[in-house]
Structure 1
Amino acid sequence: MHICSKITLLLISLCYLSACEKPKDSHLDTKSDLALLSEPTVNQRLAVESSKPILFVTQVPVDHDNNTRLSAFANHRTSVQDVPRGGDLMLLYPDGSLRNLTAEAGYGMSGLQLDRAIAVREPSVHPAGKKAIFSMLVGSPPRSKALQTKASSGFRWQLYEISGLEKNQKAVIQKVKNQDARFNNVSPIYADDEEIIFTSDRPRTGDIHLYPQLDEYEATPSISGLWKLNPSSGKLRLLSHTPSGAFTPIIDHAGRVIFTRWDHLQQDQLADRDRDASRNGVALPFKSFNYADETAQAKQLESREEIFPESRVGSESPYGTVHAFRSNFFSIWQIDQDGGNEETINHAGLHELSFGYLTPSFMHDKNLSKRTREELHRNRLALRREGGIFHLREDPLEPGVLIGINARESASFTTDSIIKVNARPDINPEQMQILAVTRFDKSDNLKDGRYRNPLPLSDGKLIASHTSNQLPPEPETSLRDLRLKYLEIDTTSRHYTAATPLTKGIHKSLSWWDGEQLRHYQGDLWELDPVELKPRRKVPTQLPKLEAPEKSILDAEKIDETELRRWLERNQLALIITRNQTSRDRADLQQPYNLQVPGGIKTLSAINPDGKLYSIQHFQILQAEQVRAYADRAGRRHLAQTIRDFHPLNLSTNSENSTRSQPKSSVIIAKDGSTAALVPAERALTWQTTDQQGQAIVRERNWITFKAGEIRVCASCHGVNHRDQANFPAPINQPEALRELIRRWKLAR
């Protein structure tokens, strides 16, 4: 079950209610789809505004891309090997004049970098256009490895606000109040309600014994998610809990928070190596183990068991061999500014954005496919699978069009070619299209050089950080240069290429202590993270409203929707509803798609109705818990675990629906295919459907966070884009599972 956006569900419901044509096997089902295909090409950027000042940062070049400042992940670390000090926050005016804002405000130092040294990253402009927020690291360690280690433990990226950005003003920088100074806070943006949204490595609970949160790849310290801070009151909320990290959020013209998220929900590869070592009778290289729970006093277990998802190396089940499952993709996500409605951008998935080969779940089910159905989507340019899309910006001349870098995950400093994707809120994933803005080459040899931090400007120009490196640098080597440049269209290729630099080069001579070694740099600094200094329109907040099927149930049961939401909020719960778990999007042939509820609804594929039929009885919900640890490092990794305090109202009192082998933290799938469950808010969740014995059938391998008080509805499991596997629109039935849950809730109040 991918959680569907309200907009997507509304469009599908309207299509169904108006009897929109006989089902077809084309991805263009209605005339309205044709209007979604009129996407501008790269040479249609026409100025609508005059040129604006540009904020950007400088950075002392980093000599490797191993979890450092410009890396895809773990780029928040603070050692001098990861982020040499000496950069600044700069402001470039349209007339070419340049201000060093941090120096002007009394921050930073020249020559030897010590206690007043700084590094700066990711400025973002206030909606009024008069001030900006950014992240800054203050201090560089002194000589000696022992002193350096002690000093480095106290260095943290923190949020700062700058004003005085007009030419006749003096820059003033103030540290943002009431942020948690124990952790690294980066990538800040202003929300429309004047609060601050940012990413942080603060553990979900803030408990130091869980710090640092370790990612799902190589157990490297990671960002824990998107957070929201009210600087006046100090109120802090976790909007999106991400076990492997979230990066560079922006707010688009529709008010959505758009960000890159690392989708890496897979079993622990370090534990796999420990299991192999144990079988071979040799020392465990990572000494992985599980804790009994997330508390500081938790018992250390001998087990390193993982219950979800399936194994990285393959396994067996009553349905035959289960393929090995591995996941590694940096994809585009969206969430409301208050933390509701988190999902992949427009509910798009790998089938649309990174199509091609996908591993089916059961090896011996010949009806499952190793290929995606490319005839069902318009996109013909697949994003990198071992990487993804980074440094997103919305084009001010094409609202809803996102421009970013399609880079691999390592050894590239997230430099590569520039692409754009139409992600307007009203566009169906099947119509989304990725276009190459600069030359695209899967061989990684970019003859025009490599790009980072693209920024489409209001005056019609396009800029980006550009390096002359054609190939990714070799391990333990750096980029030759990385400068902000204007891009121009090549009349032959019709792609953009790097042209004139924005500056004459910002040159510095610096030194710093790296343990006992005094390191030096003399030359041009890298120029990164540009953003226009201009106002943006605030988007009025819209109150959530249930759609007709669910609203009808509440009305029939005489339940006030507002009262229900307030009860959920007080109890730190969300309510998630699926109308029909047997209905799945027609593009997904990698997991079972001929599904039935025992004694209830059945949905068969229109293209393969005689394929293997699977019975699904339970919907099991799992939560991310930091219970995996390693003897050789601090912090803990998340594993998917059954929900310990699964709400008792989720358990059916109807003996007809109950089963003896019901898995922990699961609900019964009703005869109409529906489910409804009360789940924890502000914690990453995932789920699967199982058979009557609790064996997994369909696994949905994304983490989703819900807001307290949220009621989320998905019409189908793996929500329908246009049609499900039976070639029908998304279900609009009144979910009987919700009716039963609401009746239990009424009795318990």
Structure 2
Amino acid sequence: MTTKVETPAMEKTSYPLLFVTQVPTAHDFNNRLSAFANHRTTTADVPRGGDLMLLYPDGTIRNLTQEAGFGMSGLQGQKAIAVREPSVHPSGKKALFSLLLGSPKKNQTNNHYRWQIYEVEGLAANDKAKIRRLAKQDPRYNNLSPIYADDDSIIFTSDRPRTGEAHLYPQLDEYEATPSISGIWKLNPASGQLQLLSHTPSGAFNPIIDSFGRVIFTRWDHLQQDQLADRDRDADRNGVSLPFQSFNFSDESATAKALQERVEIFPESRVGSSGTYGDVSPYRSNFFTLWQIDQDGANEETVNHVGQHELAFGFATPSFRNDMNLSRSTNEQFYANRQPLRREGGLFHLREDPLEPGTFFGINARESGSFTTDSIVKISARPDLNPEQMQVIAVTKIDKSDNLQDGRYRNPLPLSDGRLIASHTSHQLPPDAESTLQDLRIKVLERHPKTGLYTAKHALTQGIHKELSWWDGKQLKHFKGDLWEIEAVELKPQKNITPPTKSLESPEQAIFKEAQVDESTLRQWLTDQNLALIITRNQTSRDRADQQQPFNLKVPNGVSTVSKAATSGVIYEIQHFQILQAEQIRAYPDRPGRRHLAQTITNFHPLNIQEPDIASSVIIAKDGSTAAFVPAARALTWQTTDAEGNAVVRERNWVTFKAGEIRVCAACHGVNQRDQADFPAPFNKPEALRELLTQWKKISQNASSLSK
């Protein structure tokens, strides 16, 4: 259900700009400007020497870090710094950023430095900058992309393991088992209380708070089986030495037993397989897209619940090859978007248009080899906009060959005075091993009156020149020239706009009333137990545009939903809803830390209405509904299965729930406008919820009587 969102008229005003400078790096391989693993701290990945800069509308520029006594010139040493990702307090009088302090001496180890969150004040024209490190943060981990929440808590990303246990550090991503960001965190700077808002097995990047109070961020959706283990399996079959020697631990604990196996139960194989329903297609996922979450950690989903088939449409792989009802391509009649995002990449460096709330500018870049430079696009994503109506629109010229004649862009920023600026380089092709981006500067873009597309014009600065040197192991590196200018933000006061509290809709409210269960009491119990409650009204109903997984479904002796366009083919019976959690149990002898695998939940709550033979699952009710108590603050995924536990429809993302949260999905994978049978989203009272509440009520009443 969507509601109309009113936004005030915006006046055009010019404000000062905060941005950072960065010594150019020689490669785009998990370094400072890469799409992922950009938090690494060696001097090869992030040479020291950059600063936090403040540019006023009259052209006056201040070096804030230098004013406050941070950084050094010449040979970089203990006082050397690198800086990144400034964000402004709603008052407009102070800002957060991340700072990396220190550079190694000759032959000194490079890996013990950590990005930490700092705050700067003294930003008025006649002030002097004051910079302090936030005291309550954990110095053992890299803390990045800080923003102020409405309650003055700090929301940021970090590579801190979910549990903070040293043996799980670093978290390894689902791609090449590279150290990754573990999620989005929230810190109370006064008490030091820390909360994990979104647990992301492959990383989350660049959160912002939009005009509607939502935390909007780029997330790497890479939920697939381990490609390193695939290479080990091939080596094993061919009788040659294993290149990665991947193996599973028995659990996440420090005392877990190393197993002589590399079993994975979810999702499908990357190379294809066969099963009860015939040949199963290979499944691979690699997409950076927009996600949203409330500032308290509730309601995590893709922005407006948009699907990949609406943003990166075209050819798609059906899950079961022998089902002729499944499509090999997305159906463009079901979405307004006509500009696809890159599948092996996505949308980076989001900034909301201050004059058009709900419109976000970003870079449509590939995942590697580009420093996340490419063309600029904008996407419409107001909270009341149905995903089928969301559109990606080219802002600068797009070239699928990756040869951008107008140059390459990064960090677009629509300004409050109506202008558009971005970091821009004249390089047309992505840099390679022999070259880097030598002229990445912040420039004003101008719109062509006929094409409507923007091109870079004049730079905002005269160039910020430095001559530096630093040690990278035994090698002394040198740089002389203009620094990169990136990550600009406006020093602009803003109003806090807390999103409206979401309440349960009438079907679920009716069940609570009829079961005589007080919603607030249940929520408090969930919070105390670190649980959430997830509800689906009808698992057989699926969005009409999602035709790559089975959509002719029925519950044995219960509800069914079958497409009117279905010819012959299987009508799949679904009987169980199986929930899996991300556990760091995959390891490799040559690297510290562990990778996540999807696992059944060992301590699945005993109140759940379940079938013991199908681990961590609940039974699908006759009306197609499900309800389950699930772990909070941990990445979860799920699938519907038949009576024997064979997978039918699989979730393609990880989702985190807040403790005490009650989340309702009308249908499996959500219905935007109509489902596969051309019906609107289900609005039935979920009987599975009634059964679960009845069981919970008995237990809670017994506990209450025993405590008296």
Structure-1-length-normalised TM-score: 0.92
Pairing 1:69–2:27 present: no
Tell which has more relative contact order, 1 or 2 (C-alpha 8 A, sep 6+). Answer: 1
2:705 is aligned to none
1:255 aligned to 2:213?
yes
Give the structure 1 partner of residue 100 of structure 2: 137
Return the alpha-carbon distance in structure 2 between the equivalents of residues 302 and 449 of structure 1.
Answer: 51
Given that 1:594 and 1:609 are in contact with CA atoms closer than 8 Å, whether structure 2 keeps it comes out as no
Letter in 2 for 1:668: I
* 1:670 has 2:633 as partner: no
1:390 aligns with 2:348: yes
Point out the more displaced range, 100-109 or 540-549.
Answer: 540-549
Q: State whether residues 411 and 486 of structure 2, in contact with CA within 8 Å, keep that contact through their aligned partners in structure 1.
A: yes
Give the match's secondary structure for 2:54: strand
Residues in 2 aligned to 1:222 and 1:454: alpha-carbon distance in whole angstroms: 25
Do the aligned partners of 2:554 and 2:571 also contact (CA within 8 Å) in 1?
yes
C-alpha contact 2:2 2:385 (8 A) present in aligned 1? no
Greater Cα shift, 425-434 or 485-494: 485-494
Structure 1 moving runs of 4+ over 4 Å: none
What is the distance in 2 between the residues matched to 1:480 and 1:106?
28
Written as runs of structure 1 = structure 2, the 5 A alignment for 1:325-474 is 325-474=283-432
Q: What does the per-residue CA deviation read over 1:54-100, in whole Å, with 9 as the maximum and x for residues that have no partner? A: 00000000010000000000000000000000000000000000000
1:727 aligns with 2:690: no
State the partner residue of 1:504: 462
Aligned residue in 1 for 2:177: 219
Letter in 1 for 2:61: L
Q: How far did residue 10 of structure 1 move?
A: 4.9
Q: Which runs of 5+ in 1 are unaligned?
A: 1-8, 12-31, 37-45, 653-657
Matches within 5 A, 1:167-316: 167-316=125-274
The one-letter code of the counterpart of 1:673 is: G
CA distance in 1, matches of 2:406, 2:490: 25
CA–CA distance in 1 between the matches of 2:249 and 2:371?
35
Contact preservation (8 Å) 2:325, 2:568: no
What is residue 596 of structure 2 aligned with on the other side?
638
How far has the Cα of 1:672 moved from its partner? 0.2
1:649 aligns with 2:604: no
Task: Give the deviation of 1:612 after TM superposition.
Answer: 2.0
**What's the CA shift for 1:494?**
2.0
**1:739 alignment partner in structure 2:** 690
Q: Which residue pairs with 2:647 in the alignment?
A: 696
Q: Which residue of 2 aligns with 1:707?
A: 658
User: Which residue pairs with 1:323 in the alignment?
Assistant: 281
Task: Specify which of 713, 718, 722 is matched with residue 669 of structure 2.
Answer: 718
Residue identity matched to 1:529: E
Cα deviation for residue 141 of structure 1 reads 0.2
Aligned partners of 2:652, 2:386: CA distance in 1, in Å? Answer: 22
Deviation at 1:273, TM superposition (A): 0.2
Deviation at 1:260, TM superposition (A): 0.1
Structure 2-normalised TM-score?
Answer: 0.97
Letter in 1 for 2:372: T
> Does 2:71 correspond to 1:108?
yes
Cα distance in 2, alignment partners of residues 117 and 362 from structure 1: 55
Q: Identity, % of aligned pairs?
A: 69
8 Å Cα contact 1:47/1:459 also seen in 2: no
Per-residue displacement from partner, 1:313-367 (whole Å, max 9, x unpaired)? 0011010010000000001000000000000010001111010111000011111
Distance of 2:679 and 2:324 partners within structure 1: 24
Which residue in the other structure is 2:706 paired with?
A: none
Q: Matched residues in 2 for 1:287 and 1:426: separation?
A: 49
Tell me which amino acid in the other structure corresponds to 1:211.
Y
Conserved in 2, the CA contact under 8 Å of 1:411 and 1:475? no
Aligned-partner residue type, residue 163 of structure 2? T
C-alpha distance in structure 1 between counterparts of 2:89 and 2:156, whole Å: 14
Whether 1:480 and 2:480 are equivalent positions in the alignment is: no
Q: Does 1:619 align with 2:570?
A: no
The residue identity in structure 2 corresponding to 1:100 is: N
Number of aligned residue pairs? 699
Q: What 5-or-longer segments of structure 2 have no aligned partner?
A: 701-708
Deviation of 1:518 after TM superposition, in Å, equals 1.1
CA contact (8 A) 2:607 2:695 kept: yes
Name the CA distance, whole Å, in 2 between partners of 1:326 and 1:450. Answer: 28
SS in structure 2 of the partner of residue 522 of structure 1:
strand
2 CA distance for matches of 1:178 and 1:153? Answer: 22
Q: Is the 8 A contact 1:48 1:460 kept in 2?
A: no
**Secondary structure of the residue that 1:438 maps to in structure 2?**
coil
Alpha-carbon separation, structure 1, partners of 2:194 and 2:434: 39
1:59 equivalenced with 2:22 (yes/no): yes
Alignment correspondent of 1:6: none
Give, as a single letter, the amino acid of the residue that structure 2 aligns with 1:746: K
Task: Decide which of 101, 111, 118 is 1:153's aligned counterpart.
Answer: 111
Give the Å deviation of 1:206: 0.4
Residue in structure 2 matched with residue 43 of structure 1 by the alignment: none
| Matching of residue 95 in structure 1 with residue 53 in structure 2 | no
- Find the aligned partners of 1:476 and 1:322 in 2 and give their Cα distance: 42
Matched residues in 1 for 2:545 and 2:10: separation? 39
2:475 maps to: 517
2:225–2:268: 8 Å Cα contact kept in structure 1?
Answer: yes
Tell me the residue number matched to 1:655: none
1:48 partner amino acid: E
CA distance in 1 between counterparts of 2:682 and 2:225 reads 33
Distance 1:10 1:513 in 2: 56
What is the CA–CA distance in structure 2 between the aligned matches of 1:167 and 1:719, rounded to whole Å?
Answer: 51
- One-letter identity of the residue aligned with 2:329: R
**Amino acid of the structure 2 residue aligned with 1:130:** K
> How far did residue 476 of structure 1 move?
5.2
Compared CA separation, residues 543 and 563, structure 1 to 2 (3 A): farther
* Conserved 8 A contact 2:2-2:384: no
In 2, Cα distance between equivalents of 1:712 and 1:130: 37
Q: Residue 513 of structure 2: SS of its match in structure 1?
A: helix
**Which residue does the alignment assign to 2:535?**
577
Question: How large is the Cα RMSD of the aligned pairs?
Answer: 1.4
Distance 1:291 1:544 in 2: 40
Distance in 1 between residues matched to 2:2 and 2:457, nearest whole Å: 45
CA distance in 2, matches of 1:10, 1:348: 13
Give the superposition deviation at 1:516: 1.5
1:153, distance to aligned residue in structure 2 (A): 3.2
Does residue 531 of structure 1 match 2:489?
yes
Separation of aligned partners in 1, 2:525 and 2:2: 26
The answer on 1:551 being equivalent to 2:502 is no
- CA–CA distance in structure 1, aligned partners of residues 681 and 661 of structure 2: 22
CA-CA distance at 1:493 after TM superposition: 2.7
Give the deviation of 1:609 after TM superposition: 6.1
